[in-house]
Structures are given as structure tokens and as C-alpha cells.
Structure 1
Amino acid sequence: MSFKLNLDFGSTLAQASQNTLNPEIVYDILVVGGGPAGLNAALYASRKGLTTGILTKRKGGQILDTSDVDNYLGIKSISGEGLVHEFLSHVDQNNIPVLSDVEVLGITTEAGVHSLSLDSGEIYRAKSLIVATGSKPRTLGVPGESEYSGKGVSYCAICDGPFFKGREVFVAGGGNSAAEAAIDLAKVASKVTIVHRSQFRSDKVLTDQLYSNPKISVMLGTTITEVLGDGTFKGLKARDNSTGEEKTIPGDGLFVEIGHDPYTGPFGKILHLNSHGEIIVSQKNETNVPGIFAAGDVTEVPYKQIVIAASDGAKAALSASEYLNRLKA
């Protein structure tokens, strides 16, 4: 397959403003990822008058795994799916082309132009990239977990904790994130039970807070074997690792806090990563490769929240715009 490239970046705006990505032109910015970071990055880039496109595996990203959102400023309460609809509507209003259900398999750079190879066999090119591929929460991998995801099983205590006010919940995990989740949940839930297969790995100050809080109980050396329900979440099956005894524990919700895995794909081979596999960025979301920026949960930015990811995407787009302006100077 051959491509005729149009290297006049400014004059391609009219062509690119259709809602279909064009492999025959070089975009100013291509955004990889369709979550809040990617969508807001594309929006900001487009508003700067830059030719912009989005490549994503899944429109909306992890927001679609959230049942309800009530902590996004200006929107008092909305479903995860509803918020994604609003985001995509805003992007579409700006005629930003989105290519979904695709995955970037490779990247090459030549003469300042980055070429992205997709699993579909197509190649798209841009003078700058914004990597916003997000992360995926680690799961327990037990029966019933996926069935009740967003229906009693959550992977974000900060996001979903307020929906469990006055109810009895579980937290799976033994690290700092699990301990912090339990402490936060105890402020709204009537009872919090931490279930962990071994011993705590959390910092002593957090562990001490757990044991001193009368609303928090601890089940160490215990493995969750199944999530139970009858259309709604009802509780857990858990096994005592020392005795092998299995029992059913009723409850209203489960918060799985065993970490996230950033999805860097082929970018992980060329970009600097931290010890957690997250992309290292500067304050302006620059990576170690000129012209490649990163934003949202795939980076080392703390607190994986929708509003933070969206703002991070805006920063990345503004930084990419500055980069392109320097090239033209």
C-alpha cells in the first residue's frame, strides 16, 4: 500500500475536519487513547486550530466501567456511559475524527514525523503524538467478579465510595492503596472488612489506623474465591488459607484495590518508564522523545481520577501546541 503525503500541515485542516481519519495526510497531533485524557487532549488541540485525530481501542476508556459519577465539577450526577456520551458529543461537535476498535502495534519516526502502525494494517502519521492509553485495574479473577463489575464490585473507592453510605463493604488488597481505601470508606460505610490473602504490605502508619478504627475489621490469610449475588451483589465466598475452610460472608459491595497496570503498548519500548511501568513525563507532559507527549493514567500522575486525567490531557495538548509552534519558528 502506498501513501501520498501532504506535508503542508496548516492547509490540511479542512481535510482533517471530517469525522474520518485520513491516512494520506500528516496530522499536527494524533492522540492515542479515547478516555478523558485523550478526548480532552484532542479537544484542546482542535481548538488551537491543529489538525487532530484520535486512535483508540475503546471510546470512553475506564469511565465505561463506572456505574455512576457524582464528582465531576458541574455535573452533579451522571452514569459513566452518560458522561462518555457527553464527552464524545463535545468532540464530535468540533469535527475531530475518531477511529475506534483499533490498536497501535508499532511506531517509527523519520524526519520528525511519527508513523503509527495499527492492527488493521493502516498507518497514520503525525508531527506530534499524545499517548493517553490509560491503565487497567488488576482483577481478582474469581467467578462473579466481572458479572458484578459496576454493580457492587468497584475498582475505585474514591469514585464509588459515596454510593455505599451506611452499608457494609469489603476491600480486597493489602498494600497502601487498599489501606487508604478502607480508611476513606470507613467515613461513609457502616462497616469495612479488609480481605487479604497474606500479610499487610501497607505503611505502618496506615496499618495502625486500620486497627484503631472500630468500623474496620481485618481478615488476613484469607482468599476471596467467588463474588455472590442474585442480580445484585450479596457477598463473598472466602477461604481461610491456614485451615482451608470456606465460608460465605454477606455484604453490599467489594472494592478491589490491588493496583493498576498502565497500558503503554509499543510506546513502552521507546519511552522512559518508572518502576511501576508508567510513562515518565515532565511538568508539561513531555516524554523523553521530542514530539511525543503523554497524559492521564498511563503516566506517573498521582490520583487516577476522571477530572485529573481530563486536565492532564489539556496540559499535554497545550504543550504539544507549543512544540509545533517552535518547529515553525
Structure 2
Amino acid sequence: MDDGHFYMYRDNHHVQQMHHNAAAAASSREECHNEQQDAYQPQPHPRQPSASDDVNSRGISSNSRRKNPHDLLSDGNASVGSSVDTEVRPPGKRRKRHHDIASKIRSVQPVPRDRDGNYEMPVQVGILTVLRLGRVVWDRDAYHNERYIWPVGYTVQREYYSMADPNKSVIYTCWITDGGDVPMFHVEAEDMPGAPIIAPTATGAWTAVLRTVNQIRHREHSNSASGPDYFGFSHPTIAKMIQDLPGADKCKAYIVQHFVEMKERHVRGVIKKGRGGRPSLDMLSRGQRALLATASSQPLASSAMQESAEALPTSDRNAVPNTV
């Protein structure tokens, strides 16, 4: 073999060896990939036990405990009146547990008291002017729940958009009367005397106000209202004052709440913003006119308005007629 053929043979052999090595490496990588795929192959889920696998002494399977009780009735696994051990709760917002309400500490603004220990009225609490706290009806269940107490005679005033004039705001007087089995919540605007909105709930009364206001102002806002917010029951300071009333401790469903007075620097800030302390003279004057309008237009309401007017400055008290 001459030198030219020798070198050609050697080069061809070298190229063949390189192809062989590349093929072997590719085969090795493919086998490794297949092994990895096999190693990470998802395992089948274990079979869920059926109703016949594990039946307790009452004839209800452990799997059925996770079902809705209404489904159990429709499936035939339980009958009306049977006891179903289930932890399923109905859909919707869960109510707070009793210990959550009792353990929470709420900050309140200090409110001065008279020599008899009663809170001095009127008092400004947030955007509300509290005129009367009323009296607790503890022997009728509908006059309180676990979070709120609704005292008869409770009277507050606040400013909100008019239901008659879309371009102004007016004073609304809110008060509670004895409706027998249930309390009645009244809301009346100062520019619509003699036309109060009355409902068996605070939310119902204020929802009617918001609906009318949104209509005349052509607003596409929600008509829903929080009665406890608009009447002031949810405000910690008002909640504490009501809780301190005689008879509040006899309300069997009510959970006693815990309060602590806010620090002095916070009190100064609240008063500076006009959200605490004595109401402004302008608010008192407007509120007094609203009470006068309500008392003169509604004989049945004049007694409550007369008592509310006692919270006003002495020079204004005799101006409220008593037509009862």
C-alpha cells in the first residue's frame, strides 16, 4: 500500500470511529432520559374509600362526613331528624365567634359625666351628634343582639345629602321608638319634616335614604347602607356609652365588650378635627331647628324630641312644643 492509500484509509477509519462514538453517546443520553421519565412518572392516587368501606356505629360512612347535610338527605344516606356528624358550614360569611368579640379591646374617646355618673349630652362622636342614649329594653330579645343594643329613645343627628334637593346637605335626626315586639328606627331630614322613614332595622331605614338620594343625584352608587354605621352603634365610643346604661348587663344575648380610653394626644387630634367633644354651635343650632320641625309636625314624636331637646342649651329648650 502506497503512502496515499494508507493516509486515505487512516482518515476514513478515523471518521467512522467518530460517527460510532457520537451514536453511542446519543443512545446513552436517550436511555438516561427514559430512566428519568420513568422515575418521575406520576403515581396513581389511592382509591377513595366508598360509603361501604368504613361505616360507623350510626350507619354513616366517614366519607359522608365531608358532605353537605342536605346532600345526605337527597342521597338517601340519612333521614329527616337523624344526627349527622359534619363540619360543613353553610356558604357565605361566617359569624364571628363569641370570644372574638369579647377579647377585642376598642379605643374610645373620653366623655365627661355629671355628678350622678351619667354621660353629659350632647356630645360629638365622629360625624354624629349624640343627643340621648335612651333606655335599655333588656327583657325583649329583638332589642339587642350579641354585638349591639338598641335603646328606646336613642337619638343622634348627622349631616347627609338631601332627599329633596340634590345640591345641598341637611341634618338627619335618627331615633328609636318602642314598637312592641321590635324596635322601630326613624330617620327624618330637616327639609322634609313630617315625612320620616321608619323601618324595623337601622339598615332598612338608611337604605331607603340612600336609594332616594342616589336617584335625585343621578348617581349609580350602591343603595346598600350599614345601619350600625349610620346610626352610630358601630362607633366604639357610642357602643361603650350604651353598654354603660342601666340594664345593659341583663341583655342575655349581648356579649360584653372591652374598651380603653385613647391617649391624650389622640384625643386632641379628634377634637381638633371636630370629631369629638362638644358639638359646634352651628351644628347645635341646625340640630335644634331640625328637632323643632320634627316636634311640630309629628305629635307622636314630639315627646321624644322634647327629651332630646333637653340636651340643647337652656335658652333653646322651651322653644320645643309638647303636643302630646
**TM-score, structure 2 as length reference:** 0.21
Greater relative CO (CA pairs within 8 A, separation 6+): 1
Greater strand proportion:
1
Which structure's CA Rg is the greater one?
2
